[in-house]
Amino acid sequence: MADYLIDTNHRNWLIDPGHPFRARFIARLRAGDTFSTILPIITETVFGFSILPRAARNWTEWHTIRPSLMLLPLDETDALEAARSRWRYAARDGSWRR
């Protein structure tokens, strides 16, 4: 079993029943893997699919998928640590200088 974090790179693929990512997501759920996300990703996802012509269908798909996602609680301490980690990785490879 594995734990995954759903971020903005994956969010819209979850509500597309024909997308290969959705099929892999369902297969991994059935295998016992867990998926988590954070509130800003839910906000972006719901806003993004709500403005599309197929919004009603997207809402139906979202209600199917959402119970499978664990919502991670975040606070300022988490945000600061994420920023520090990002800086450490960037400083290591020099990407913050670009």
Structural domain range at position 34: 3-97
Indicate whether 15 pLDDT > 80: yes
Instruction: Write down the pLDDT at residue 88.
Output: 84
**Band of residue 90 on the pLDDT scale cut at 50, 70, 90:** confident
Q: What is the pLDDT of residues 28-86, one digit of tens each?
A: 999 999 999 988 889 988 998 999 999 999 999 999 999 999 999 988 898 888 888 88
Average pLDDT value over all residues in the chain: 87
Instruction: Write down the pLDDT at residue 95.
Output: 66
Counted domains in the chain: 1
CATH number, position 83: 3.40.50.1010
Please spell the DSSP secondary structure of the chain, one letter per residue: --EEE--TTTHHHHT-TTSHHHHHHHHHHHTT-EEEE-HHHHHHHHHHHHTSTTHHHHHHHHHHHGGGEEEPP--HHHHHHHHHHHHHHHHHHTGGG-
Indicate whether 5 pLDDT > 60: yes
Instruction: Write down the pLDDT at residue 96.
Output: 59
